[in-house]
Structure 1
């Protein structure tokens, strides 16, 4: 298959069938924009694509599991012109209600989706961006990337990894005209969020999160974190002595 080329601004969103992903697709959908949307759920992917086309966007969909690294890499390297890549696909797992450890099969799948596929996507789209001397990559981390939550250790670890990776890319590529941003949401209403144990303060709608993310990307913010003051509190957990942070986390309802 030959490389797909478009003169219009192009935005790629992985996990476009998720709450934030579909909201981002709708946020960017307009005439003159080409959207590349990836997801696993064909019906939901087509639903999002139809809504985006109704807003005037050109839409190309790809039903794909991001854990299929060979297929993912092949698809991405065929898309020569990408102005913005939002690496959004993600899953979660948590400890059991009686403190059982996370099943290892779920941990492996989570790391493949949240961290390894994110790194692969960045590596796959970078050559074309570096050659052009322009482009933008946004990686979805989480406020849990600041300090690990006892109820979601694997998820927290994966999002800390995404945060560190994105910040490293930003420093590396800044002089080449490629912008890299790390997005660190708090709680955004979604089935995945609903399934997470523990309190969910300052819960946002996906649409509000998408608007905030777009503004942050337009401003090229290094970290796009929200909502306030949860983002400030999460940052403090990272800078306080770890013992004190662990105590605070337990006091607010995460863990025993």
Structure 2
């Protein structure tokens, strides 16, 4: 389970919580990684945000990285995230940043305590049934899905050079896909509840979350800010970290100043 209390400048195997050097911060930014992923998925972005006066919390979701808890559904991950948020000081301005599946987790969590979460920043988000592709169904298959997940992870490791997803990443990948197929088409109420407090960053050459998903999302939330770029693919925190950092800093600062 998440810790009973979170302190600034705290570091553990599965969670890192840092404060500005002054110890004074204007808001708390919590990062939620996708799949495959871990807290390390945000490392390049965090380096570029270090000079801003925010408190940053980045953690391994259940089943990934150094988090030994079994993987969970989207709603299960959202409740897990809420337990982390409950550990923060009352009155904290909290901002959730989610990548891919992590955007779904952040959105569901935000819909549960909407009065304290002014904005959700979704990077390459999977937020509706239109985000699903054939590979998602293949990875979700019993027995066969685990093998497909292992092959997919190995190909991604060779392509990206990443190896920080954790020992249980293949099984977590397959299990999460089964929940994904059931839950993504049902996220409509949570998305509507968050409404135009949701901001989106998406690359039009994303081959994981198809463009039709973003089109559908824009129709659901016509007033939600959406930023499109033409390169970087799906894993923008790794391929375009400066762009993602700018998106976060601009979005959060605008919210803090209003």
**Same fold per TM (> 0.5)?**
no
Higher relative contact order (CA 8 A, sep 6+): 2
TM-score range, shorter chain: 0.3 to 0.5
The structure whose Rg is larger is 1
* TM-score where L is the length of structure 2: 0.40
- How high is the TM-score relative to the length of structure 1? 0.40
